[in-house]
Amino acid sequence: MTKKLELYKCDICGNLVEVILSGEGELVCCGQPMQLMSAKHNDDVMNEKHVPVFIRNELGKDEVRVGSMPHPMESGHYIMFIETISPDYNRAELQYLHPGEEAKMLIGEKLGKTLAREFCNLHGLWEGERD
């Protein structure tokens, strides 16, 4: 059974699917079951460039930045998207990113304890929380 907002990836073609509504069926792509993605929370080597961090920027706005050190945003290595998810999983906001852009996302509304996740084209899915 799938759960709302889970991410699944095809090991053959790289399709990435987010579940909008939970269901009983199996997600299949390229003739095989898709793999449920698990987010990394902490990795001593890559933590400082991948875990989403909540900050208040210089304009007083809340935002999510990827890592405590800037993440590369080059054509061969970049953050593909940042997503924030409310504590009850009833609200999600997704921002796609492209090489050359900063790896950050402005947050439109304060949601209390919020989950943020990002997807690096080389190092996969990472997440962090704001209390």
Domains contained in the chain, CATH given: 7-36 (2.20.28.100), 47-130 (2.60.40.730)
Query: Running along the chain, 131 residues long, what does each successive block of 10 average in pLDDT?
Result: 95 96 95 95 70 88 88 95 92 95 86 86 91 68
Return the number of other C-beta atoms located less than 10 Å from residue 112's C-beta: 9
Return the number of other C-beta atoms located less than 10 Å from residue 6's C-beta: 14
Angle at 98 between CA 127 and CA 13, to 5 degrees: 75
Instruction: Say whether 115 sits in a helix, a strand or coil.
Output: strand
What is the model's pLDDT at position 7? Answer: 97
What is the model's pLDDT at position 125? Answer: 94
Using alpha carbons, list the distances in angstroms from residue 23 to 4, 6, 44.
9, 11, 36
